Amino acid sequence: MRSFIFLTFLFLSFSVSSHAGLKSLCINSLLPKHFHPPKDSEFTTYFPKPFHKEQGFITDINQVPLTSKNLLEAYANGIFPWNPKQDGTVAWFNMPKHGVINLDPLVNHSKKRSRKLHEAWNRGVREGWKISFNRAYKEVIEACKNHERNPEHYSHVWLTDQVRDAFIKLHEEGKAFSVEVWDKDGVLIGGTYGIYQNGMYSPESLFFNKSEYTEKINQRTGDTKIEYKYSGAGKVAMIAVAKRLRFTGHHFIDSQTVNENTRTNYYAVEEARKSYLELYREQALLTKHIAPEILFAADEPVPLKEMTHPKF
């Protein structure tokens, strides 16, 4: 009798569990594909594990849309939307080596160590340039989108309308911020924008105003070289945000990738994925008391020499 009861109990248990499993399978089959992270996913929601993918490619933005939640989770795990080609197709990447910028060279910008940064800042001081934070985010991102760049970097390709709209939404939600550079007459001449969360600022792009320039002809070769009046304005924006971050206890900026521009002008270096995430988590702990809305509070443009920083 006891054996019969035991077998009946096992049969009923198996039937219930099988029914529940079947129901779960049916429900899951109706969900969009990007709601199914692989079993080996190291991320909490949608991103598949990238380590076996070639050149850091994970998936495209049709499978993982550019929602605010996805963007924030991605950056918290070293993932970012990007397009290293010229076909205009944006996808998600987690590079084997992640770009990092130490703030100290940007803050110090001594002539010996970083001549271009030093010259850009000094020119801005001489000509009365001003700096502000988070006052003209949409204007900055639109200028970055339309900024003509060196085609070797393809920076202008990935900032599509869809990407722009996603980052504007992040800004409206208080997760993305801008830095603006103005000339002495109040004209926007440069800037940068990016995500800030968990103590890490991830600048996405920068620009400088190309409206004023001079053409110089090389007498020996006959080549024409264009010199832009405000070519250092993008660098000044990066220096300004570096100064503010360093003053408030930050040590690094996330540059995602490293190319000739970020390496030579901003001293970006590559860190292995694991090392980058360790830096990210360490900085998050050091800066957990900092409120982004105060760190990037919109303020009136002030001359570079008069720039101050919030205290926490």
Distance in angstroms (rounded) separating the CA atoms of residues 24 and 143: 48
Mean pLDDT of 181-203: 97
Cα separation of the two ends of the chain: 73
Instruction: Label residue 216 by pLDDT band (50, 70, 90).
Output: confident
Distance in angstroms (rounded) separating the CA atoms of residues 159 and 33: 25
Q: Which domains does the chain have, with CATH numbers?
A: 17-93 (no CATH), 97-306 (3.40.630.70)
| Residue 279 reports pLDDT greater than 50 | yes
Task: Show the CA angle centred on residue 196, arms to residues 189 and 103, nearest 5°.
Answer: 70
Distance in angstroms (rounded) separating the CA atoms of residues 230 and 128: 12
pLDDT averaged over every residue in the chain: 83
pLDDT confidence of residue 63: 82
Residue 182 tokens read as 């103005």
Per-residue pLDDT tens digits for 7-27: 444 444 444 444 444 434 443
Residue 69 tokens read as 């939640």
Mean pLDDT of 25-50: 46
**Could you tell me which of 265, 275, 276 has the C-alpha nearest to residue 232?**
265
Per-residue pLDDT tens digits for 125-172: 999 999 999 999 999 999 999 877 655 555 556 788 999 999 999 999
pLDDT confidence of residue 47: 63
| pLDDT top residue among 202 and 89 | 202
pLDDT confidence of residue 58: 84
Distance in angstroms (rounded) separating the CA atoms of residues 57 and 262: 21
**299 neighbors 268 (Cβ within 8 angstroms):** no
> DSSP assignment, residue 186?
S
| Residue 55 reports pLDDT greater than 60 | yes
pTM for this structure? Answer: 0.82
